[in-house]
Amino acid sequence: MKKDSIQKQWDKAAEAWADFVRTGRDYSRFEMNNPAMFKLLGDIRGKKILDLACGEGYNSRIMASKGAKVTGVDFSKGLIGFAIEQEKKDKLGIDYFISDASDLSGFKNDSFDIVTCFMALQDIKDYKAAIKEICRVMKKKGRFVFVIPHPCFEGRIINGKRINGWVFKKGTKTKSNQNALYYKIDKYFVRNRYMIDWNMKRLTINFKTTSFHRTLTDYADALYGAGLAITRILEPKPTRRGLVKYPFHFERNLRVPDSIVIEAVKC
């Protein structure tokens, strides 16, 4: 399989990503997105779950510890390498495979009760093909549960310029929560591919990856077109613990959501 540039970026970022997640620096996962996704997933004991674009397997391990039979898939050899290394230590019974999300031909029709995709569908180039494949490998009434940056409020970049973002009081030096006036949104209907520079101070290694802006309608149409009906939506808010521990990071998420969790069921 010829590697595309996005795959190369994730291979290059594999060590940095594993470090980011495993050292507890991915605050949004721990204090906002995972609590919401696991609330929506409910009891997963005994369920056959495909964790699509599983990265180094952090959430695959949580689901396996909760009693699910988990298969993790990602197109990055580097990330799957980290996942397998960890599985050798934990022995949670997780199977990992390298595959593009848009071609799951290694899996039979109607194989899984649930497919999860945590913060990755926005990075998957051919998301329509991936959603079709997800539907195919899921059993009837199977659930596809995914988390993506909220398409309405995504902090994205067009021609090198940040389009959406907080507007602060004029003349204030600090970008504090108190100085945040409102959240500005523009060009929502302009779909684009853009680069994310993971250069936050809390990261020990910086890296760059690619994301795609699509509208909510684009995702809803792709789900509907594949034979999946949206059943539930959650717009995560930070946990109390998150607010106390990282107020700067989270207080504004009580005003505007960063992400959205969607459940769609195979009809």
Ligand X SMILES: C[S@@+](CC[C@H](N)C(=O)[O-])C[C@H]1O[C@@H](n2cnc3c(N)ncnc32)[C@H](O)[C@@H]1O
Of 153, 118, 54, nearest to 261 (Cα)? Answer: 118
For ligand X, the closer of residues 179 and 239 by Cβ is: 239
Contacts 24+ apart (CB under 8 A), 158-164: 158/187, 158/190, 158/192, 158/194, 163/187
Query: What is the nearest approach in angstroms of ligand X to the Cβ of residue 167?
Result: 27
For ligand X, the nearest residue by Cβ is 55
Distance of CA 43 to the CA centre of its chain: 21
> How far apart (Å, rounded) are the C-alpha atoms in residues 144 and 262?
8
Q: Which of 40, 120, 138, 234 binds ligand X (CB under 6 A)?
A: 120
Footprint (CB under 6 A) of ligand X, residues 58-87? 58-59, 74-76, 79
Given a contact cutoff of 8 angstroms between Cβ atoms, the answer to whether 117 and 138 are in contact is no
Distance of CA 234 to the CA centre of its chain: 14
Q: Which of 101, 226, 234, 260 binds ligand X (CB under 6 A)?
A: 101
For ligand X, the closer of residues 177 and 203 by Cβ is: 203
Query: What is the nearest approach in angstroms of ligand X to the Cβ of residue 121?
Result: 8
For ligand X, the closer of residues 59 and 164 by Cβ is: 59
**Residue 118 sits in the site that holds ligand X (CB under 6 A):** yes
**Residue 258 sits in the site that holds ligand X (CB under 6 A):** no
Q: Which of 32, 70, 124, 138 binds ligand X (CB under 6 A)?
A: 124
> How far apart (Å, rounded) are the C-alpha atoms in residues 18 and 58?
9
In terms of C-beta density within 10 A (0-12 exposed, 13-18 middle, 19 or more buried), how is residue 45 classed? Answer: exposed
Q: Which of 32, 36, 41, 54 binds ligand X (CB under 6 A)?
A: 54
**Residue 154 sits in the site that holds ligand X (CB under 6 A):** no
- Residue 39 in 3-state DSSP? helix
**List of residues contacting ligand X (CB under 6 A):** 6, 10, 21, 53-55, 58-59, 74-76, 79, 100-102, 118-120, 123-125
